[in-house]
Amino acid sequence: MITLTLLHTIQPIPTQSWTFADDEPAIFIGRAADNHVVIYSAVVSRHHIEVRRVDNGWEIVNLGTNGTYVDGQAIARVPVTDGLILRLASSGPQIQIHLEVSTTATVTQSQIVVGR
């Protein structure tokens, strides 16, 4: 599962969150109503970010004209790590990403035939 959490503008406390299953191929974030996550802010583009499934993980792709920032650096594309905080535009809203790794393991049972 992947959870996106909108953080308060002044303090790093959650204000809203969205959770998606691992089988979701892409999650779109932006100001337009057709995004999975809609954020109303003048600095957020209509289609600002794509969070997409790659191999065994996720990556963020910037689509916005005002940019997407991780640790103060503008990014074009970056792999997602648990706890990653990104900012939409240099002064825009912050989103924290949490990844939940499935711990369900498949157990196979072998049948042993003992001769008589």
Q: Give pLDDT tens digits for 43-52.
A: 999 999 999 9
Q: Identify whether 72 is part of a domain.
A: yes
Q: Identify whether 111 is part of a domain.
A: no
Give the Cα separation of 60 and 102 in Å (integer): 21
Question: Could you tell me if residue 89 is left (phi over 0), alpha (psi between -120 and 50 degrees) or otherwise beta?
Answer: left
In the chain, the DSSP E strands lie at 2-7, 14-20, 26-30, 37-38, 49-54, 57-62, 68-70, 73-75, 77-79, 85-88, 94-99
Provide the CATH number for the domain around residue 89: 2.60.200.20
Is 71's pLDDT higher than 60?
Answer: yes
Is 41's pLDDT higher than 90?
Answer: yes
| Residue 39 domain boundaries | 2-99
* Number of structural domains found in the chain: 1
Q: Identify whether 105 is part of a domain.
A: no
Mean pLDDT of the chain: 88
pLDDT band at 103 (very low <50, low <70, confident <90, very high): low
